[in-house]
Amino acid sequence: MHLLKLSVSLLVSLAVSCVQAARVPQYQQLPPLREQAAIQDAWTVERVSNVPQLLRKYEVDAWLMSQKEYAEDTVFWSLKSATQFSARRRTVDLFLANTVEDASFSYNWIDNTPEVWSELRSVLEAHNVSSIAVNADTDVAFSSGLHVGEFGKIVQELGPEWEKKLVVEPMVGVEFIGTMVPGRLEWYRRLQETAWAIITEAFSEAVIEPGITTTDDVRWWMRDKIQQLNYTTWFMPDVSILNAEDPFGDHPMTTDREVIQYGDLLHCDFGVTALGLNTDTQHMAYVLYPGESEDDIPEGYIGGLKQVNRLQDIVKSNMKVGTTGNDILKTSLKQMRNEGFDGKIYCHPIGDWGHSAGTLIGMFNLQEGVEVLGDLPLLDNTYYSVELYAEYFVAERNQTMNFYQEEDVYWNDEIKDWDWVWGRQEKFHLVRPPVDRVFRVQGP
């Protein structure tokens, strides 16, 4: 009986370790630039082909963008080809919801003569366009990229009859930028795996020597690693030592101390950028004392990680497509409190931008709801950063601490649900004690 039990548990642990071994994140090399450009341009073609349908969904006949070199519309960056580095001269894009006969639905001018306006007018006339969306929203960044001077120019050149047909429909820009075509997922997952691989190495004895390495050392190691891999990033990596001196304050609770010590609970906020995509991840690590193993992680920390994992599940299960971010926030906070714990929820769309287009599910300082952006509906076929923390009482420290996590999800159309792009943290990264140094000290 005992033997049987033993062999079963041995098998189980072998199986578990195999699964875990398979999940060690690897650095994913980017292809040569020429190949990267081809990959990105194929995605752009796929995205642009969705535009007519998008315009029909929001009941506008056309979508007009006009910009000058270095004064680009926000949408320009999601429309441009991989070999375009800025708008040139006057760059005008026009998309049509419905075309007559087999005319094109998409027009692009790069011109600095008045002809661009006469040609634009004739396309609009030929298609009997009665509403033209322009990105002149007052609140949503992704739909307010039309520069005010350029807006004046459009009105002046098109004249009062066309001016009457200009409309603002913020969801056109939001949905165009926020929609992640299926082809992107394979590379997004590789980016995410690379981000995990960098965090895994940064939060290990390969980079951290307790008593010597500072949090700043780790941040800059991450920056250099990103560079070595030919990736970039969209924000300075953040590395901190978690503390709990102010459990009810409004800012992340970290120590002022910079030098990492044994027994520290570490936190990072880290993202990478490549191929026009961005990631955003927050993980935690524990610094083992000499002689300690994984079994010595304080129970309170393990409980805290479980608690924040639970909060991730709650939020993910409430992310119903079509619901507003504010409703998802309210439902999730309520469910969290009903389950007897506290925390904060501040999730955002991610993709073309680190903080990309779509509804917001809370912000760090706005747990009652977010005006305008929180009232947008949740899109499908998009990526989100599930960003939050759970409070948990750590008996070993006699303190309530915040356990932070951030992990990217994508809409999995097969299961009609959100899925982790690479995975989520369920075990602490470990900075293991320097075995050989201990051996040397103890040796003859």
DSSP symbol at 347: B
Q: Taking the complex as a whole, how short is the minimal distance between the CB of residue 97 and ligand NAG, in angstroms?
A: 12
Determine how many CB atoms are found less than 10 A away from the CB of residue 234. Answer: 14
Q: Taking the complex as a whole, how short is the minimal distance between the CB of residue 250 and ligand NAG, in angstroms?
A: 20
Query: Which runs of E-coded beta strand occur in 273-382?
Result: 273-274, 277-278, 281-287, 343-345, 348-350
Considering only 123, 181, 185, 229, the residue that binds ligand NAG (CB under 6 A) is 229
Q: Taking the complex as a whole, how short is the minimal distance between the CB of residue 231 and ligand NAG, in angstroms?
A: 9
Span between the terminal Cα atoms of the chain, in Å: 45
Between 197 and 260, CB nearer to ligand NAG: 197
**Cα–Cα distance for residue pair 382/411, rounded to 1 Å:** 6
Between 202 and 360, CB nearer to ligand NAG: 202
**Cα–Cα distance for residue pair 405/425, rounded to 1 Å:** 8
Closest CA to 303 of 177, 390, 412, 184: 390
Considering only 34, 398, 416, 444, the residue that binds ligand NAG (CB under 6 A) is 398
- Burial of residue 36 (CB within 10 Å: 0-12, 13-18, 19+) is middle
Q: Taking the complex as a whole, how short is the minimal distance between the CB of residue 228 and ligand NAG, in angstroms?
A: 6
Any idea how long the chain is? 444
Between 186 and 414, CB nearer to ligand NAG: 186
Considering only 2, 34, 128, 322, the residue that binds ligand NAG (CB under 6 A) is 128
Q: Which residues pair with 343 in a beta bridge?
A: 390
Q: Taking the complex as a whole, how short is the minimal distance between the CB of residue 61 and ligand NAG, in angstroms?
A: 8
Q: At which residue do the structure tokens 């925390």 appear?
A: 343
What DSSP string runs through 158-208? Answer: H-HHHHTTEE--HHHHHHHHH---GGGHHHHHHHHHHHHHHHHHHTSTTT-
Residue 338 interacting with ligand NAG (CB under 6 A): no
CA torsion sign, 54 to 73 to 372 to 412? Answer: positive
Between 255 and 309, CB nearer to ligand NAG: 255
Q: Taking the complex as a whole, how short is the minimal distance between the CB of residue 163 and ligand NAG, in angstroms?
A: 16
Q: Which of residues 130-159 bind ligand NAG (CB under 6 A)?
A: 130
Between 29 and 53, CB nearer to ligand NAG: 29
Residue 297 interacting with ligand NAG (CB under 6 A): no
Considering only 29, 138, 338, 442, the residue that binds ligand NAG (CB under 6 A) is 29
Residue 230 interacting with ligand NAG (CB under 6 A): yes
Task: Give the H or E element holding residue 14.
Answer: helix 2-22
Q: Taking the complex as a whole, how short is the minimal distance between the CB of residue 183 and ligand NAG, in angstroms?
A: 22
**Cα–Cα distance for residue pair 203/288, rounded to 1 Å:** 12
**Cα–Cα distance for residue pair 75/176, rounded to 1 Å:** 8
- Size, binding site for ligand NAG by CB under 6 A: 7
Residues in contact with ligand NAG by CB under 6 A are 29-30, 128, 130, 229-230, 398
